[in-house]
Structure 1
């Protein structure tokens, strides 16, 4: 038996972020992770001297970046060039990403170029929250006149959000993510595993008990209050506040009588987002200029992350390809489509192949803001005092890792308010926690 003020189930980005904040607030904190390694889908695997993330990862300059910077993490890496191509009718065309490429692209008419340039200017000032209950298709079809500019916006917003559901996806969060994308992204040296390890070390220095290779099997609650987490090895962690920073389905299984709580509503309304991910390391690029490609009439994306980050020991170029998936998936067909994309962009790539990783269906996030949502999840489960949720699915409009860090902050903020404990002054957290 172990006692703590706060017990956190799940050692991914959300769980580690919550653990750091709780410990900084003076809470005795235990973090429980079922795998041997922390990080969840943010782990990095090494293969033949190559650092492979679990699919394509880029750090936007949003909530997660501000949070990590406030923690003092190194975030070593660089912003990649945004010179891009688009795949349209089986050919590569210059994609407009700046004034020079907008003038040069044959994809868009002069009238369309003027509209595209106007929208890039408008986006910076756009209050995207006005469109949180408007579908992405409704926004694009109602706001953009030129057909090709519409196609390009569908592609840009799909890439920023990973979602292929324009009739369901709320336009506001997707547009907000695109605004962040226009600031550029950061590709991290040696993959996201470096950042995860820094988070783990920070949590340990703050006194968090990080229990890896411990699988939580149930969260005990009685008379409307949580009281413990039970692990499969018999370990029981007694705690008055528990954060479940795990996938929604897992959270539902952990809580007895979850069907009588808001967890049931959140589970019923959830629409998971998945992608097929192919990562390859090439000894050299057959076409060095073709490193960043959007599918316009295909739901694919390609990026050479080595153009900005150190991802191999021998100088191999690590290229990440994504096939954004809808409800129907086919692992073999998706792989074929991704390989055909490589054939188009880097012909002869098989002769340069040094390492390869294929993930046929990885969950990008377990829910997102869509127009069928009844309510945003968490942070508190109202029927059980002391029970909270965090994770990319517990989004209140944020996307991807930004949803993980933002939801973690919401959960800790509620714990501090409930226990009548004052938060840490802003200067100790840095700018990342101004809303904690």
Structure 2
């Protein structure tokens, strides 16, 4: 395979963005992906002319959008209307997503409406970092007075992060994500697979090489330095720098003596988040107004992404539903809950069904900012020269795809700034000096 300056393990969003930054910096770069196609959890599947992502995908105007714009990656899609309903006691009730709906919604008292209006103004200028060490529950119970307003914010923060763990989740990062959502959200034409295609094209423009359909089995090191990437078929890619964009447990397994490195801590503190996702394509919507729905007393969410994006070659409506999962889940109950949400929002939907995709338990993110986290991972593994990590779990405050994009950029910036980093052992871990 010859020698590469940078080898990136994993061809998802983080891996592709890292490859572009590395190649732009003049580094000979290769991406290794075990699947035959790139994209990871950002792939899009086409069924009966409809484009289905792996669960609900929305691109908030935050870190990822800024990075994609910096890389001149084109984003084809539109911003949907914010008009929304909430499910409360099995009824659909308009939510206060703008000034007019705030005035007219019957869900809140006059005092509740005043409180929501006040916070929607405060959030735009709020320094969310002051709440990084506070749980979501402590923030909501300590800052919001009206009980229904609290339910509303629990739902908003749950939707912004996919996390149903208010006692565990750190408030600062998810409030920052909520601020991003107030700047707008993009639904992408033909799904996130189109974004993956654009990223690959951009990477190829800068000379990035790709090896797909070949599983990486080990990161070979010598004297605590990266030496090569070994693949299942025996291929070796020789390199001085490796960026791992895998899940933390996989990164741990790929590195010899990982138990003597920070990878052990990062793996042990990681708490993956999963969701049950149902995507359907309908010839038409039985209830055209019911296109954007938050669960207030249940952990569900519905969005008709076709109201803003081209997601069907036949003009069908692609609706995505999510049930946010906790520790204990039941596949049958989760699917029933999602179908019941559809029955409420779009009665008679089964007669209009064109295509369907149910994902009972898909990983949304491999870790997030929570109260049990002891250290933020990456960008480099300090005990091994030339080894870096990126991905949604390598967050320093960002969430979801923002974390994947920001960590990829951080990894390459560190690689370029400290190409000859050396380390010493302090407290059992090597640190850069």
- Which residue in the other structure is 2:365 paired with? 365
Runs of 4+ in 1 over 6 A off after TM superposition: none
How many matched pairs? 421
- Which residue in the other structure is 2:381 paired with? 381
Partner Cα separation in structure 1 for residue 167 and residue 271 of structure 2: 13
Superposition pairs for residues 129-278 of structure 1, below 5 Å?
129-278=129-278
Q: Cα offset for 1:208?
A: 0.8
Q: Cα offset for 1:363?
A: 0.3
Give the TM-score taking structure 2 as reference length.
Answer: 0.96
Q: Cα offset for 1:419?
A: 2.0
Q: Cα offset for 1:398?
A: 0.2
Partner Cα separation in structure 2 for residue 69 and residue 50 of structure 1: 27
Partner Cα separation in structure 2 for residue 113 and residue 323 of structure 1: 27
Partner Cα separation in structure 1 for residue 63 and residue 126 of structure 2: 18
- Which residue in the other structure is 1:103 paired with? 103
- Which residue in the other structure is 1:399 paired with? 399
Q: Cα offset for 1:214?
A: 1.5
Partner Cα separation in structure 1 for residue 73 and residue 377 of structure 2: 28
**What do residues 166-209 of structure 1 show as CA deviations (whole Å, max 9, x unaligned)?**
00000000000000011120000000111101111111121111
Partner Cα separation in structure 2 for residue 239 and residue 71 of structure 1: 25
**What do residues 91-139 of structure 1 show as CA deviations (whole Å, max 9, x unaligned)?**
1101110111111111100001000000000000100011111000000
- Which residue in the other structure is 2:430 paired with? none
Q: Give the match's secondary structure for 2:27.
A: coil
- Which residue in the other structure is 1:29 paired with? 29
**What do residues 340-394 of structure 1 show as CA deviations (whole Å, max 9, x unaligned)?**
0000000000000000000000000000010110000111111111100000000
Q: Cα offset for 1:249?
A: 1.3
Q: Cα offset for 1:420?
A: 7.0
- Which residue in the other structure is 1:426 paired with? none
Partner Cα separation in structure 2 for residue 332 and residue 218 of structure 1: 38
Partner Cα separation in structure 1 for residue 341 and residue 335 of structure 2: 10
Are residue 65 (structure 1) and residue 70 (structure 2) matched? no
- Which residue in the other structure is 1:118 paired with? 118
- Which residue in the other structure is 2:94 paired with? 94
- Which residue in the other structure is 2:431 paired with? none
Partner Cα separation in structure 2 for residue 331 and residue 378 of structure 1: 34
Partner Cα separation in structure 1 for residue 72 and residue 396 of structure 2: 26
- Which residue in the other structure is 1:416 paired with? 416
Q: Cα offset for 1:241?
A: 0.7
Partner Cα separation in structure 1 for residue 3 and residue 224 of structure 2: 20
Unpaired segments ≥5 residues, structure 1: 422-436
Partner Cα separation in structure 1 for residue 353 and residue 183 of structure 2: 32
Partner Cα separation in structure 2 for residue 364 and residue 35 of structure 1: 19
**What do residues 58-102 of structure 1 show as CA deviations (whole Å, max 9, x unaligned)?**
011011111112222221110001100000011110111011111
Q: Cα offset for 1:260?
A: 1.0
Partner Cα separation in structure 1 for residue 208 and residue 412 of structure 2: 14
- Which residue in the other structure is 1:85 paired with? 85
Give the TM-score taking structure 1 as reference length.
Answer: 0.96
Partner Cα separation in structure 2 for residue 367 and residue 74 of structure 1: 28
Q: Could you tell me whether the CA contact under 8 Å between 1:85 and 1:290 is conserved in 2?
A: yes
- Which residue in the other structure is 1:425 paired with? none
Q: Give the match's secondary structure for 1:396.
A: coil
**What do residues 119-161 of structure 1 show as CA deviations (whole Å, max 9, x unaligned)?**
0000001000111110000000000000000000000000001
Q: Cα offset for 1:224?
A: 1.4
Q: Could you tell me whether the CA contact under 8 Å between 1:2 and 1:235 is conserved in 2?
A: no
| RMSD over equivalenced CA pairs, Å | 0.9
Partner Cα separation in structure 2 for residue 134 and residue 293 of structure 1: 28
**What do residues 30-62 of structure 1 show as CA deviations (whole Å, max 9, x unaligned)?**
110000111000000000110000100001101
More moved, 210-219 vs 296-305? 210-219
Q: Could you tell me whether the CA contact under 8 Å between 1:36 and 1:212 is conserved in 2?
A: yes
Partner Cα separation in structure 1 for residue 253 and residue 420 of structure 2: 30
- Which residue in the other structure is 2:355 paired with? 355
Partner Cα separation in structure 2 for residue 29 and residue 314 of structure 1: 40
Partner Cα separation in structure 2 for residue 191 and residue 346 of structure 1: 22
- Which residue in the other structure is 1:306 paired with? 306
Q: Could you tell me whether the CA contact under 8 Å between 1:51 and 1:190 is conserved in 2?
A: yes
Q: Could you tell me whether the CA contact under 8 Å between 1:169 and 1:370 is conserved in 2?
A: yes
